Amino acid sequence: EVDLEFLGNLSGDPYILHTNLYSQGKGNREQQFYLWFDPTADFHTYSVLWNPLHVVYFVDGIPIREFKNLDAAGVPYPKSQPMTLYSTLWDAEDWATRGGLVKTDWSQAPFTASFSGFNASACVWSNGASTCPSSSAASVKYPWFSQQLDAASLQTMKSVQQKYMIYDYCKDTKRFPQGLPLECTLKTKS
């Protein structure tokens, strides 16, 4: 599961984009960002690159988060189950709105979301096999299959994180008193 969630806000506060990644049924890999624009004022592009190398989250083509495939080091990576795409509106007022302090104003219902220019490119899982070949031939039909971030993109992502990230599970020692998740300690070594 790869999550992009918009958290409720008080009028005038910046909107928060909440990201999380689940693998082998385990999540708790949240990062949150203030958006540098009002997402309700106009359409923006939110995308995810998910390939055998990493999962990268983008906002308007700008990388904001990367989760590397560290499966060989013991960090579960989402690679063994087919994916389904969902879009929902749901009430998370018990945690998402300032930690549950702000409740949903149901008098404002119905709540809606609008989409424009939706596009998905993916390997299809059918009869126990994927349409993505296991060789470099995949890059011809699916160029994203081996796409990586170049040095400029990595620098842009680092800058966005320094400026707009407001929560990173890899820095939350109160939440993980027994020690940060493995991928966090591996990330600091690289």
Give me the pLDDT at residue 135, please. 62
Domain count, the chain: 1
38 has a pLDDT exceeding 80: yes
Top-confidence residue, 187 or 3: 3
The domain spanning residue 175 has which CATH number? 2.60.120.200
Concerning whether 93 is annotated as a catalytic residue, the answer is: no
pLDDT at 188: 57
Instruction: Report how far residue 18's alpha carbon sits from residue 86's, in angstroms, rounded to the nearest whole number.
Output: 16
Q: Give the model's pLDDT for residue 34.
A: 94
- pLDDT of 1 higher than 70: yes
Distance CA(66)–CA(57), nearest Å, equals: 7
3-state secondary structure 84-111: CCCCCCCCCCCCCCHHHCCCCCHHHCCC
Residue 6 lies in a domain: yes
Would residue 9 count as lying in a domain? yes
d(CA 93, CA 9): 11
pLDDT of residue 190: 46
Instruction: Tell me, yes or no, whether 108 lies in a domain.
Output: yes
Q: Which amino acid is at 176?
A: F
- pLDDT tens for each residue of 70-114: 999 999 999 877 777 788 777 777 776 666 777 777 888 888 888
Select the more confidently predicted residue: 187 or 148: 148
Beta bridge partners of 65: 57
- Kindly name the residue from 5, 30, 93, 183 that is annotated as catalytic: 5
- Span 18-31, pLDDT tens digits: 999 999 888 899 99
Query: Does a structural domain hold residue 190?
Result: no
Please pick, among 1, 30, 66, 183, the residue that the annotation labels catalytic: 1
The distance between the two most distant Cα atoms of the chain, rounded to a whole number of Å, is 54
Indicate the range of 8-17, 24-33, 154-163 predicted with least confidence: 8-17
Tell me which residue range forms the domain holding 164: 2-184
Q: Is 30 a catalytic residue?
A: no
Residue 189 lies in a domain: no
Q: How far is CA 108 from CA 10, 126, 176, 183, 185, in A?
A: 14, 43, 38, 41, 44
Answer yes or no: is 142 within a domain.
yes
Mean pLDDT of 178-183: 94
- The per-residue pLDDT for 140 is 73
